[in-house]
Amino acid sequence: MNEGTETDSDADAPAAEYLDDFELPDAWSTQLPEDPLDKTLDELENSSAAIHSRENGQSSISEDGECSIHVEKDLFSCVLLAYKRQFKGQSSGSYIARWQVTAHSTTSFIRKVWNLAKEHLNREVIFDVKADGTTSPVWAENESSSEKEFGKFVLFQSGRRHYVLEKLTESSNLLQSWRNKEITVLLHVYSLSVSNRTVWSSVKENLIDPSERDRSGAATTQAVIGLADELRSVHGKHLDVHGMAWSFWANSILNGPAHLRESLKDHPTQHLAHLFRVKEGLHVNAIRRELSVAHSVNNSYHEEVVALRQVFDVVESNVESLNASLKMFKIRLEALELRDRLSDSMINAMETAVKVQEDDLGQELKSKIIDMEDMDHM
């Protein structure tokens, strides 16, 4: 099953309709506006989905008169036209790709869309409410979002109607009504919290481009020097590096993705790693500490090994003694068996020798006995 195919070119991007800023909710809200026709449209979509299911299914009547509909294995199938958006209502965001998505369940459908979309999403932007009631954009705690948070970034558009992700999970009728249709997917790279252009300007000013910029859009020399000094103060104790390398590192951070800048301060990027090396003294001390830990771990095993050796020696000695006893027992048993056989043979021979036999006197007396007729009982 092909989950989706991507096209990087924007030239063939299909046209799509979008809401303007004035059609969207309050600037700091993530809720979509209520449409009085939503209920009616939902009923029409549910009815259309039911008819579509009957048209694509096969009905059969069982012996007891019940009618059942056999739907195809992939219940949901539609083409998704994916677009990237910086804020809700933006109409100039870039076209990402055309995705053909098929699935047998709502959960599977959402997971496939998530797998296609996650690489286009950045760190979530949330808004911190201060004591005076004002709000300011800040980065969410996690640098990357999970599938459970997908609903914070995506909107589905069919015609001029927008649907949040939760709408798909409420009923499968909506997805069934999209079968074999083209549906627009709007991926809000910093989350739906960036609700309009005004909010986006605040996010861009405070998070995306917080450092000073020159006319070309690059970080100013002062910003690079300031960040280089910060990196040197944090990592200079354990990194041995030429002075210019700090500036290279700072420049790569300032020109890197805004949502990754804090994590980029933890260690040099891969293309700059060859300019940095751990100081020799610290490196040796680190090795000694690791060896000390290794010795401690090894010593904890040593006592157990010695104890096991002692137990084994005792068992081995007992086994050897038991083997010797078994051999002696076997020899004595074999001797008793031989003696038993000899005694049995002697008894049989003696029994044969003393067998009762008729002698000459007995035979003579036997010959004198004659049969006489019984006259007394006639």
Buried b (16+ CB within 10 A) or exposed e, 230-239: ebbeebeeeb
What does 293-322 look like in DSSP terms, one character per residue?
HHHHHHHHHHHHHHHHHHHHHHHHHHHHHH
What is the per-residue pLDDT for 251? Answer: 64
pLDDT in tens, 298-329: 887 788 888 888 999 999 999 999 999 999 99
Report the 10 Å Cβ neighbour count for 84. Answer: 17
pLDDT exceeds cutoff 80 at 276:
no
**What radius of gyration do the chain's Cα atoms show?**
47
pLDDT band at 354 (very low <50, low <70, confident <90, very high): confident
Most confident of 62-76, 271-285, 348-362: 348-362
Percent of the chain predicted with pLDDT > 90: 22
pLDDT exceeds cutoff 50 at 207:
yes
pLDDT in tens, 226-264: 767 777 676 766 676 666 776 766 666 665 555 556 666
Q: Mean pLDDT, the chain, as a whole number?
A: 74
Q: Compute φ and ψ for 180, nearest 5 degrees.
A: 60, 25
pLDDT in tens, 33-90: 445 445 555 555 555 555 454 444 443 333 333 333 334 456 899 999 999 998 988 8
What is the per-residue pLDDT for 278? Answer: 62
Tell me how far apart the alpha carbons of residues 223 and 210 are, in angstroms, rounded to a whole number: 10
What is the per-residue pLDDT for 22? Answer: 37
Rounded alpha-carbon distances, angstroms, from residue 334 to 275, 321, 344 = 85, 20, 15
Specify the residue for token string 């041995």: 240
